[in-house]
């Protein structure tokens, strides 16, 4: 049994290809697929997290995973209603059942759902690896999506006060 899982957060059509297109989306999809392939080669579970709300109704076209993602029939899928993928979901139970204590994390949105999930995972004692080139966000608050991605990668990389090391590495180094 593996001790590591890959979380792919909110890479849904309505999130990344909506009114605005997510930053570096094509490269992020390629790098997520590279991470997915590496996870599968090592026998790690791949878990897709999908946000659900009025604009992303379960089963709708906008709720679907991006067509370029290499998802498979046996991959776990978890619906969520909040930014943090652990909040009122079965994620913690699923990880515990599988004996997972290490997470690779990528997806959307860097500054909200990815960051919230990452911080909760660290607080819960998981060793977290952020796939630095496999997360994305939209431009907002006077910042480009690229600036937000770069800022969060730098901030996470500089974070040292964690129970287990927080790693920030590109997909090629997984």
DSSP letter string over 126-165? -EEEEEEEEEE---BTTB-HHHHHHHHHHHHHH---SSS-
CATH code of residue 113: 3.40.50.850
Determine what percent of the chain is predicted with pLDDT higher than 90: 96
Contact 139, 25 (CB under 8 A): no
- What's the pLDDT at 1? 67
> Across all residues in the chain, what is the average pLDDT?
97
Contact 130, 167 (CB under 8 A): yes
Measured from the Cβ of residue 73, the count of other Cβ atoms closer than 10 Å reads: 4
Q: How far apart are CA 10 and CA 123, in angstroms?
A: 21
Contact 62, 55 (CB under 8 A): yes
Residue 3 has pLDDT above 70, yes or no: yes
Instruction: Report the predicted TM-score, pTM, of the whole model to 2 decimal places.
Output: 0.97
- State mean pLDDT over 96-104: 98
Residue 59, C-beta contacts closer than 8 angstroms, at least 6 positions apart: none
Contact 49, 10 (CB under 8 A): yes
Q: pLDDT digits over 125-148, tens only? A: 999 999 999 999 999 889 999 999
* Number of domains the chain is built from: 1
Residue 123 has pLDDT above 90, yes or no: yes
Residue 11 has pLDDT above 80, yes or no: yes
Note down the domain range covering 155. Answer: 4-173
Q: Which residue has the higher pLDDT, 19 or 117?
A: 117
Q: Is 48 helix (H, G, I), strand (E, B) or coil?
A: strand
- What's the pLDDT at 35? 98
CA distances (Å), origin 49, targets 65, 146, 154, 158? 9, 23, 24, 26
- State mean pLDDT over 17-29: 95
């Amino acid at each position: 049994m593996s001790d590591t899982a890959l979380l792919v957060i909110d890479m849904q059509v309505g999130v990344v290809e909506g009114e605005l297109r997510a930053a570096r989306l094509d490269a992020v999809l390629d790098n997520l697929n590279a991470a997915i392939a590496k996870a599968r080669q090592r026998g790690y579970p791949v878990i897709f997290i999908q946000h659900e709300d009025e604009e992303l109704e379960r089963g709708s076209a906008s709720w679907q995973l991006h067509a370029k993602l290499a998802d498979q029939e046996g991959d776990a899928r978890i619906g969520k209603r909040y930014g943090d993928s652990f909040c009122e979901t079965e994620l913690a139970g699923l990880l515990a059942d599988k004996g997972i204590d290490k997470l690779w994390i990528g997806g959307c949105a860097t500054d909200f759902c990815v960051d919230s999930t990452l911080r909760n995972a660290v607080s819960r004692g998981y060793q977290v690896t952020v796939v630095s080139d496999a997360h994305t966000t939209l431009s907002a608050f006077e910042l480009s999506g690229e600036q937000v991605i770069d800022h969060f990668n730098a901030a996470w990389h500089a974070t040292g006060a964690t129970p287990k090391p927080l790693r920030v590495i590109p997909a090629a180094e997984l």
